[in-house]
Amino acid sequence: MNETTFNWQKVVQYGIISAVVILYVCLVGLVDAFKARDVIDKVLSLAHALIIVISFSMGYVIARNLVSRPENGVGKITLSGLTVGLISGLIMVVFVMIISTWNVRQMFINASPALVKILTFDQPSSTMGLLILVASLTTISTFGAITRLLPQQLRQIIVVGFAAVLLVGMLQDFLTRIKIINYLTAFIYSRKGLTIPGAVAVFIIFAGLNNFWSTQGEMVKKKISQIPDAPRGVLNWAFWGAGLIFLILIPQMTDSYVAQILFTIGLYIMMGLGLNISLGWAGLLDLGFAGFFAIGAYSVALLTSTGQRSLTFLTTGQAGASYVSFWVAIPIVVAMSAGAGVFLGIPVLRTRGDYLAIITLGMAEIIRILVKSDAMRPILGGAQGILNIPKPVFSITNQVQILFKEPMHFYYLILVGAFLVAFLAKRLQHARVGRNWIAIREDEDVAEAIGINVVATKLLAFGIGASFAGLSGAIFATQLGSVFPDSFGLLVSINAVSLVIIGGIGSIPGVIIGALVLVGLPELLREFAEFRLLIYGILLIVMMLVKPEGFWPSEATKRELNLDTEE
């Protein structure tokens, strides 16, 4: 055994890290909260699945660190995974014995007898439960190390299959609301989690699809590229048409709860596409995007509200009528938001990187504090906000009118808005101004040297991005029927920045995927609302370590990362 290359100290460190992570999720209450949800009914709870994922991941990671060295054979790598699991299991045994013997709940409120039952698998004998705990962690960690030694195709089948089972099991409440697959839910789901045949079917289907794409994907792409332009254009239109029909029919296939979640995702897609212009293409790190979202919301509130915080009341002293309708207010709101973006962009023209982020963050906080202050209370309502924002009315004829009042109606409104914003963003990306933004992002000095008007181009990025955020804020305020300052905190800006980075900087499809992952999934798991930010942070950390380029990176990002890898 070559001690200089096979570092047992690192193996022990990973075992301790595995135990510390498991201890952390136990003590913050995640394990106890997840016990209420089963992934597979009466077989695997979400609490045990969380521990399995941690142990498997640590075994996989230690094997990945060792597998590139030819002197570390299969035996050594397998032994490293076994050691990691054994160390974490023994530490967990000590932890269970401590909280079983002494009352430590004054320090750690979640170190309860219920947690002990979960960790000992509800065994009547504590000794047997602890043996099962050690054996389970050791086996799972060893399996993780062995999985890393398998051929890539087989490894992907295993990982994708189990991940699909976990995800489909967690999304039971959502998937059972889809009316078109109701006849399948009896086979896939029981009252609480997946059935065993359903879990097997999900594993086989997703593993099979992954295997097909990994083996036949390149051939399929090649055949599609060989299709003549005219038939290929028809195929593309058919694909986009099918996708559009699916999006139109989603509310009909589900219920108002899902429509509301999709509405929220659509809001963040519009904001993300706006931020993608300044951050993804122009390279301007804007942490104050929630300020433009707030400007759009308060602008439409002032223009359309029928209460005492409206332009009608401010100009006439009487409430009860909107100053303008929603459809007239939208262009005004977009123009005001774009103007605000340009105005707030002027002071930051000569700043870059971290300095730009700090300044834009400060500007957003200034907007929020001003809106909430007593000085602006006569106009903007202060902490009480602006109420009585009427719902939009779409008139087809004088006799036929559609009142937007249900989540389904606003879903269609946000769908139209998101399509419009995405279309404009796509056209801007390939226009001259889009190439100018990308040139500034790559090297501002060189861009200025070749004749690009850096000042105008930057202000245009701020203005267009802000207009997209203002439009989403206007729709948000109208759907809610009121606006309050606390709806536009720092977390809104962080969500927008995160979904752009997670999805893939500079990529329009990446923004959509980022919104689905960072906004859609937490909304679907509302029962764990207490831990949403914790899960959110863990997801960000894992994503930055595992896939820093994002789910769907732009071509430029791919090339940059490949260049870094070659170097």
Tell me which residue of 386, 559, 406, 398 sits closest to 474, measured CA to CA.
386
The answer to whether 50 and 115 are in contact (CB under 8 A) is no
Query: What DSSP designation does 386 have?
Result: B
103's tokens = 């009352």
* 400 Cβ neighbours under 8 A, 6+ residues apart: none
- Beta pairing class for 393-395 and 38-40: unpaired
How far is CA 174 from each of CA 15, 31, 170, 259, 530, rounded to the nearest angstrom?
A: 36, 22, 9, 11, 19
pLDDT in tens, 314-350: 777 777 777 788 999 999 999 999 999 999 888 888 8
Length of the chain: 567
pTM (whole model) above 0.85: yes
Look up residue 278 and give its DSSP letter. I
What is the spatial distance between Cα 52 and Cα 462, in angstroms, rounded to a whole number?
Answer: 45
pLDDT for 256: 85
Q: Which helix (H) or strand (E) holds 44?
A: strand 44-45
Maximum Cα–Cα distance for the chain, whole Å? 88
Nearest CA-CA partner of 380 in 457, 304, 298, 280: 298
Q: Which pLDDT belongs to residue 72?
A: 58
**What are the backbone angles phi and psi of residue 188, rounded to the nearest 5°?**
-80, -45
Position of tokens 């973006």? 341
Q: Hey, how many other C-beta atoms are within 10 angstroms of the C-beta on 140?
A: 22
Selection from 29, 18, 87, 30 nearest residue 55 by Cα: 18
Six token digits for residue 506: 């500079």
Distances (CA, A) of 257 to 254, 262, 350, 480, 529: 8, 9, 46, 15, 16
- CB 344, CB 361: distance < 8 Å: no
Q: What is the pLDDT of residue 535?
A: 76
What pLDDT does 224 receive? 81
Judge contact between 270 and 421, C-beta under 8 A: yes
Task: Give 403-416 pLDDT, tens digit per residue.
Answer: 888 888 999 999 99
Query: β-strands 393-395, 401-403: how paired?
Result: antiparallel
Query: For the chain (length 567 residues), average pLDDT per consecutive 10?
Result: 60 92 91 87 90 93 73 78 94 92 85 90 87 94 91 90 91 80 79 90 93 86 81 83 88 85 93 92 88 93 87 78 86 94 88 85 87 86 88 78 85 93 92 91 88 92 94 94 89 89 89 89 73 77 80 76 47
In this structure, what DSSP letter does residue 390 have? Answer: P
| 27 alpha-carbon distance from chain centroid | 25
Secondary structure (3-state) at 401: strand
Give me 316's structure tokens. 């006439």
Contacts of 392 (CB under 8 A, 6+ apart): 325, 326, 327, 403, 404, 413, 478
